[in-house]
Amino acid sequence: MAVVKRYWGLYGALWKNSLVREMQFKVNFLLWIVVEALWFALQLSFMTVLYTHTDSIAGWSKWEVVLLVGCNQFIQQLFTALFLTNITDLSEHIRTGRLDFMLLLPVNTRFLISLRKVDWGNYVNAAMGLAVMAYAGRQMGLQPTLLQIAGFGVLSAAGVMIHYSLMFLLATISFWTVRAQGIVWGYYNLFNIARLPDTAFRGVYRMMFTWVLPVLLVSNVPARLILAKLESVQSVLMLLGLAAVCFGLSEVVWRWSLARYTSASS
């Protein structure tokens, strides 16, 4: 409990420092929120245009897809707020030698690298995703139970963990290539696939984006839970299992990479 309390206090200090840093550039902070909001609105507009020509896409109605887009926005922005900047900075830590100093600090190095910065503006954008989900649910007359809401929270957390683990795994390539931002951002761009219904994919594409890069599971499973479209608990167990496997794999690769790290001065 003492260790948990210590790390919780440390994380609270990191949150405060991040907020102070954001408030030093208030205009940039507000503009980033506006840009992300406009991009989100563009995604919703695109789906609206599609449904002017059809009533259903892969068995999903207009408002079901809007709820799915909102769910993807929530999970993506939550991940971005917590981890994105920190993971993309890993290669710079290696290149400039800052990682050497982090290794000397009396704190878990992965904890510090992963959570050092918090992008507060993305919490606002995540809230927009929840607002769109609530509006779409109201249009469909949905009344989710407390169990569904709690399950949605757990599955969303698992989705964030999958994104974090896979992107952190890709970032460890920096130990050999020094720079790996292109690979990391390449995975981040795949998030756009997650806003589409999983039933729209067939064959090798569905297998790839379900098992190899499970971006479809990340948003589709939580959205299906709210929509009561889950056919079985298999997809829920699959999402939770993949979250655990991806995190475990990223930890193994991280430790293996760190063991072979010889510092920037070597």
pLDDT for residue 266: 54
Provide the 8-state DSSP code for 207: H
Rounded CA-CA distance 71/133 in Å is 7
Phi, psi dihedral angles at 189 (to 5 degrees) = -65, -20
pTM (predicted TM-score): 0.91
Spatial neighbors of 54 by CB under 8 A, at least 6 apart, are none
Structure tokens at 38: 């406009």
Asked whether the beta carbons of 122 and 36 are under 8 A apart, the reply is yes
Neighbours of 149 (CB within 10 A): 11
pLDDT for residue 54: 86
Q: Where are the domains of the chain?
A: 2-259
3-state secondary structure of 60: strand
Query: pLDDT averaged over consecutive 10-residue blocks of the chain (266 residues)?
Result: 87 87 81 87 89 87 95 95 93 88 91 92 93 96 94 97 94 82 79 86 85 88 94 90 96 92 68
